[in-house]
Chains A and B, each alone.
Chain A
Amino acid sequence: MDKDLEQALINQSANGDAIAFRRLVEDTQNFALSIAYKFLNNMTDAEDIVQEAYVRVWKNLHRYDPDFRFKTWLGKIITNLCLDTKKSSYRKMNIRAVDAATSRRVSDANETGKHLEHEELKEIIHQLAASLSEKQRTVFILRDLQQLEPEEVCRIVSMSEGNLKSNLYYARLKMKSLLEQYYSEKKRF
C-alpha cells in the first residue's frame, strides 16, 4: 500500500472511521497472521492473537508514530503479544518439540511426496525454533522465517544492529546443528 494512502487511512481510523480501518486490516492481516503463526505454530491461536492485536492497534491509533511503517508497528504488537502469551507455554513446548520430532521420524517414514516433505520440514523447523532463547527465537522468526529487513527487525524488537547480528548468529548456528542432528537421526530409521 502507498505510504500516503496508508497514512490517510490511519488518520481516518484514528477519527473513528471503521471503513478506513477495515481497509487497513484487509491489507495487513495476512502479514500479521504469518508472524503470529510462525511464533505459535497453531492457526487458531494465531488468529486469536491477530484479532487482539488489531483491537490494540485501534485503541492506540492516536499514539501511532508516522516514522514507523504501519506494518512495523503491527509487527511489534504481534511479536509482543506472541511472546507474552507463549512465555509460559514455550517451556512446555520446548520439551514437547523433541518428543514430537522423534515420534514423527517413525510415523512419517513411509510418507513421500514434496508437499508432505515440505510440511514436515516446516513443522520441524517451528518445533526446533522453540528450543532457542527468546531473543534468538524472535530474531530468527522475524528475519529468517518472515524475511523482514534487518532494520525492521531492529525496530520491532528494539535492538541494536550489533545485538541483532549476534542473536542471529547464535540462532542460525543452533538451528543448523539441530536440523542436521534431526536428519542424521532420521536416516537411521
Chain B
Amino acid sequence: MNCSHYHNLIYLKAELSEQDLLSLQQHLATCTSCAQLDAEVHLFQETINRIASQEIKPRNAAALTSSIMEAVHAQKSGTTIQRQVKVWIQENLLRYSLAALSLIQIVFFSLEFQNRRDPVAEQYSSSSNSVVILDSDMIHINPAERKQHTSGFADCKSPLIERRAYLECLKSKYSSTLL
C-alpha cells in the first residue's frame, strides 16, 4: 500500500474498521510524513470536537415548545375541519348524487313532455288554423313575388322569436300573400 491510501485512512480514523486501523497504525510507525499528517488531522479533529461538544440550546426552551405546540394545534384544527369535510362528503355523496340524478330525470322528462304536447302546437294543428303552405298556393305567386314572400317568411324564422309569436308571424305573412 502506498502513502496516499493511508492519507485517506488518516482522515477517516473514527470510521475505520479494526483491521484498517491496525494497518494504519503499523504504517504510521514506519512513515514519518504520514505520521506528521496524522498529527495535523488529529489537531484539526480535536478543534472540531471542541466546537461540537458545545451544547446548542434554545434561547427559551419553554417558549420554543409552546410555539411548536401552537403551530401543531393550528395544523390540528385545520386537519380536523378537512377530515370532517371529507367524512361529510363520503357519508352524503350517494344521497346527493341520487338526488341530483332524480332532478336531472325530472327536468329531462318534463322537457320531453313539453315537446310532445305543446298546447300552442295543438291549437294550430287543426285544419282551420293550419299555417301549412301548400305548393298549390305558392304556384299562383310569380317567382319575383315568391322570392319576396319567401324572404318575408324568413323574417319569422328567428330563433329568438317565441314559438307562439313565430306561428302568429307565419300566419300573418301567409294571410298577406293570399290577399
Given contacts A18-B73, A145-B48, contact A30 B58 (CB under 8 A): yes
Partner of B72, one of A18, A29, A146, A164: A18
Q: How many Å lie between the Cα of A38 and that of B51 in the bound state? A: 11
Assess the B56–A37 pair: CB atoms within 8 A: yes
Q: Mark A39-79, 1 if CB is under 8 A from B, else 0.
A: 00001000100111011001100000000000000000000
Nearest CB on A from B137, distance (A): 81
Nearest CB on A from B57, distance (A): 6
Residues of chain A within 8 A (CB-CB) of B64 are: 29, 33, 47, 50-51
Q: Is the interface of A mostly helix, strand, loop or mixed?
A: helix
Residues of chain A within 8 A (CB-CB) of B69 are: 18, 21-22, 25
Q: Mark B50-62, 1 if CB is under 8 A from A, else 0.
A: 1111111111010
Range of interface residues on B (Cβ < 8 Å): 20 to 34
Binding site for B on A (CB under 8 A): 16, 18, 21-22, 25-26, 29-30, 33-34, 37-38, 43, 47, 50-52, 54-55, 58-59, 118, 121-122, 125, 144-147, 150, 164-165, 168-169, 172-173, 175-176, 179-180
Can you show 26 pairs from A to B with CB atoms below 8 A apart?
Answer: A18-B72, A21-B72, A26-B65, A29-B64, A30-B61, A33-B57, A33-B58, A33-B64, A43-B58, A51-B64, A51-B67, A52-B71, A54-B72, A59-B79, A118-B54, A122-B54, A125-B47, A125-B51, A144-B45, A144-B48, A145-B52, A165-B15, A168-B12, A173-B11, A175-B44, A175-B48
